[in-house]
Amino acid sequence: MIHVVGKTAGRWGLRVPARQGEEVRQALIREGALDPSLKVLREGSDLILPLREEREGASLFEFEAHPGREPLPRHELVGGIAIMQENDPSGAQQLLASRPSLHTVVFAQGEVHGEYRIREFSHLAGESTTRTLVTEHGHTFVVDLAGAYFSARLSTERQRILSQVREGELVLDMFAGVGPFAITLAKRASLVVAVDLNPKAVALMFENLHRNRTENVLPLLADARHLARILPWRFDRVVMNLPLADTEFLSEAFRLVRPGGMIHFYSLVSAEGEHADRIRELGGAIAAERVVRSYSPAQWHAVYDIRVR
């Protein structure tokens, strides 16, 4: 069974059983993730803790504001940059003053688009830049939001995949971006081949390899469509993080995995088991299908862990 995160208008909140509420609340405060301007909600035996931004397991709820504390405008954080969905300069100043770690507030002028999966931004407050540093589980990644895709929301997912990697594996990241999956998995793998079509993403990946002293990632500027012809290896594990591509690249991934190997295939879906027939047809068995995050009320990002026969 997979759980689809329902969306209502409102603010991001995390549902926890009341008996774990205080422990989780303290952990969120330590992370700077709890929104102190909103009151905690109670629903039956659960508490809903208000969050500053979306995270895994969160849904949207209507919270009451604490009197006298103005709620922060909705935003997404990537390192020291807050991304707002509204062009709201005074909200941007409020955000900038809310956290010392913020250096910039930008307005996202649309959705991610094109092959490189990037967005356009306009500057609202603070330093005028789209470059920032993101710290994630002991790694630091330099990202440039206008130049290459990066999502801080996948950090839990990267740790989940790392927990499955065995020492010495040969791993392929087909859509590597600035390298967060590749650098994370390189902790256990013997070699990670990290491919991207966007030259800016690959240039940032080089910086990130240097910054994290990672010497077992091979960055490759290439189109994933041609990898089976370019690469001499068959991999133990392939990561496919290009959710809007549907199943277009799946057959290429199957060509690149050894029998018994694993593919982690991310996809935007609107039904459980949407790609199950295609996966079976290609010779795969679904080991797990999970929701990564909601995308719209009727669609979500799913990950299929596929064992290749």
Q: Which stretch binds ligand SAM (CB under 6 A): 66-74, 77-85, 144-152, 184-192?
A: 144-152
* Residue found by looking up tokens 């094109």 in the block: 114
Q: Which stretch binds ligand SAM (CB under 6 A): 8-16, 37-45, 58-66, 175-183?
A: 175-183
Nearer to ligand SAM, 95 or 118 (CB): 118
Candidate list 24, 197, 203, 231; residue touching ligand SAM; CB under 6 A: 197
Nearer to ligand SAM, 94 or 247 (CB): 247
SS3 content of the chain, % helix, strand, coil (to 5): 25, 35, 40
Three-point CA angle 37, 42, 46, nearest 5°: 120
Build a one-symbol-per-residue string for 208-247: x at contacts with ligand SAM by CB under 6 A, - elsewhere: ---------------xxx---------------xx-----
The reply on whether position 21 binds ligand SAM by CB under 6 A is no
Eight-class DSSP state of 38: B
Candidate list 196, 236, 289, 305; residue touching ligand SAM; CB under 6 A: 196
Bridge-based pairing state of the strands 235-240 and 257-269: parallel
The reply on whether position 250 binds ligand SAM by CB under 6 A is no
Nearer to ligand SAM, 96 or 182 (CB): 182
Nearer to ligand SAM, 107 or 141 (CB): 141
The reply on whether position 154 binds ligand SAM by CB under 6 A is yes
For 74-110, letters b (16+ CB in 10 Å) and e give bbbbbbbbbbbeeebeebbebbbebeeebbbbbbbee
Cβ-based neighbour number of residue 271 at 10 Å = 11
Question: 63-92: which residues touch ligand SAM (CB under 6 A)?
Answer: none
The reply on whether position 23 binds ligand SAM by CB under 6 A is no
Contacts of 91 (CB under 8 A, 6+ apart): 72, 73, 84
Q: Which residues pair with 118 in a beta bridge?
A: 113
Contacts of 170 (CB under 8 A, 6+ apart): 189, 190, 191, 193, 233, 235, 236, 237
Candidate list 34, 92, 195, 205; residue touching ligand SAM; CB under 6 A: 195
The reply on whether position 115 binds ligand SAM by CB under 6 A is yes
Contacts of 86 (CB under 8 A, 6+ apart): 73, 74, 107
The reply on whether position 155 binds ligand SAM by CB under 6 A is no
> CA 63 to CA 280: how far, in whole Å?
44
Counting residues that bind ligand SAM (by CB under 6 A) gives 23
Q: Which stretch binds ligand SAM (CB under 6 A): 16-24, 115-123, 125-133, 210-218?
A: 115-123
> CA 178 to CA 302: how far, in whole Å?
21
Nearer to ligand SAM, 63 or 254 (CB): 254
Rule CB under 6 A: which residues touch ligand SAM?
115-117, 148-151, 154, 175-177, 180-181, 195-198, 201, 223-225, 241-242
